[in-house]
Amino acid sequence: MWSCGARRSTTAKQAADPAANGAAQGYVGAMPTLYWKSTCTTCREVRSALRARFPDMVEKNYSKEPLTAAEVRTMTQAAGGVAEVINTTHAIYKENGWKASLPDVETFVAAAVNEVNLLRRPILLRDDGKKAWVHKACLGATL
């Protein structure tokens, strides 16, 4: 298990060949971060598949290590907004009437930090924080 922020070392071959480290055309950078929950079956399946494509991927199991407000904010913005990352089956979503009117980013961030199950999962975040994939869309991620 890799701790948050820790990166596995990159081989010379990976550094020289973007395809070898999972990078696709366009953006070439360090490895993405997968935010996942170990009790989630979809997370475990996606994690397993992504490890083959991104062997140096950073992983954060947020059932064991809490998310920060900055992490939730970055994921939300990179995914395209609250609508992309909010779990619409969660009781808080329903109780607050967020189906009719989604919360603003800061309200959502505060709520998700306190109740991580408000996030759809898993979330794969590009290392520059500008692009994120949610749920099974992670499997089609191109960096």
Tens-level pLDDT at each residue, the chain (143 residues): 223 333 333 333 333 343 444 444 444 566 899 999 999 999 999 999 999 888 889 999 999 999 999 999 999 999 999 999 999 999 999 999 999 999 999 999 999 999 999 999 999 999 899 999 999 888 888 76
- Give the number of other CB atoms < 10 A from CB of residue 141: 20
Residue 14 vs residues 29, 30, 45, 102, 136: alpha-carbon distances, Å: 11, 10, 25, 42, 26
> pTM, whole model, 2 decimals?
0.77
In a domain, 43, yes or no: yes
Domain count, the chain: 1
In a domain, 5, yes or no: no
In a domain, 7, yes or no: no
* Cα 26 from Cα 73, distance rounded (Å): 25
In a domain, 125, yes or no: yes
